A = this chain, B = another copy of it.
Amino acid sequence: MLQSQFFAKTKKETPKEAQAISHQYLVRADFVEQTISGVYRFLPLGFRVLKNIENIIREEMVKLGAQEVYLPALQDKKLWTESGRWKTFDPPLFKLKDRHQKEMALGSTHEEEMVDIVRKRINSYQDLPFSLFQIQSKFRNEMRSTGGLLRTREFWMKDLYSFHATFEDLTNFYQKVKKSYFSIFKRCGLNVFCVEAVSGTIGGKISNEFMMVSEVGEDKILICKKCGWAANIEKTGQIKKCPQCQNSLEEKKAIEVGHIFQLGTEYSSKMGANFTTRDGKKKPIIMGCYGIGVPRLMATIVEVHHDQKGIIWPKEVAPFDIHLIPIITNKKEKKIAEKIYLDLQNSGFKVLYDDREDKSTGEKFADCDLIGIPIRIIISQKTLKQNCLELKERAKKEPVLVKIKELSKFLK
């Protein structure tokens, strides 16, 4: 992609309301833009990252054997009344009426929708287990939305729901999802803790959160370094010793990047989603649900991977693979640079080529550091004299000179 034609305008000023570093950098580098409080536009750079994260999540969901669906945002009040959450869901539902005065909610989660789908189709234990997921917009009527993408009112969420005949089967699947979540966060460059958590208005008795330690986190977690036990302080209260090994605990602030729930029969019993067991009895279906907020994950990656100059995207989520910056003075050099650009693209790399003529070299370097593409390649008269180019990983301090011929070796 030619940068002169790419729709992104970096800014030097930090937005007033932006306190979190992820908020500052994502707005300054033109990945996202706020419209109303807690509502964001994803511009081409932001969309690319969102899509990369979506693809990682989808791959891991498919590995779990989950099947993808797409459920509407407009939800029937009737379903929320059946579950008893029309008035109690926190933060409150966005509610609206159509032109016939029919009341609806904008989906903040989809347990009710999923149970309705399943109760119409599942009869027997032979139909179980299975799991369904989707990746789409959720709406939450938050009181205050601060922290940029860390807490928003409309956001992409991956929500997975599983359906089982026994608690044992739920527990087994729950463990698989835990592993799957660790893979997702690892691929996004995050080493997270899995902690015991409070289930809140989603419900169920057992739930776990995936926590990334960070100064801007809104949660306090307790970690036992000896036995690995960890919990949200909301769950345990202010305790000093590990309930498993009596060791002392460390308290840290963290961002919740995922939350999984053993719902049990909470929804199925209220909404009449039953199945017939092998010996002919009717029982409510046993459920689990598993969420990841995609924009919050994106912001968390930036909180963890940045320096004083800008973002440092992990490879798998980066908007481009290579930022190619030619510093050229004549046509011959330009031709060489353009050939390298084409060769890299033909080798399957996503390349942003800084062909802007109205920017100084200094401005180009500053934009490059701010945007945070993993590899920067500079081609200049100086490097070309040695048949080389200068390659610098965004995460490293020093560049290396690489023979043009040998470039492919360095990019493996």
Contacts and interface: CB of A to CB of B under 8 A. Distances in A.
A3 interface: no
Contact of A96 (B96, B126, B132): B96
A167 interface: no
B43 A6 contact: no
A40 to B, nearest CB: 7
Contact of A74 (B39, B70, B92, B104): B39
Contacts of A65: 5
Contact of A75 (B35, B44, B137): B35
A6 B106 CA distance: 28
Given A33-B117, A121-B9, A141-B99, A41 B70 contact: yes
Contacts of A139: 73-74
- Nearest 7 pairs of A and B residues by beta carbon: A96-B96, A42-B70, A44-B67, A9-B121, A39-B72, A39-B74, A72-B154
Given A7-B130, A117-B33, A41 B71 contact: yes
B143 A41 contact: no
B69 A41 contact: yes
A31 B16 CA distance: 47
Interface string A33-67: 10110011111101100110000000000000101
Contacts of A50: 70
Nearest to A357: B126
Interface string A387-406: 00000000000000000000
Contacts of A143: 99
A355 interface: no
10 contacts: A33-B117, A35-B76, A36-B75, A42-B71, A47-B68, A47-B70, A73-B73, A74-B154, A96-B96, A98-B153
A113 interface: yes
Nearest to A1: B67
A102 interface: yes
Interface string A80-121: 000000000000101110110010101000000100110011
A73 B137 contact: yes
Contacts of A71: 41-42
A6 B65 CA distance: 10
A7 B46 CA distance: 33
A3 to B, nearest CB: 12
Contacts of A76: 35-36
B96 A95 contact: yes
Interface string A135-162: 0110101010000000001101000000
Contacts of A154: 72-74
Interface in A15-42: 33, 35-36, 39-42
A337 B132 CA distance: 28
Contacts of A104: 36
A331 to B, nearest CB: 21
Nearest to A124: B358
Contacts of A141: 98-99
A342 to B, nearest CB: 17
A29 to B, nearest CB: 13
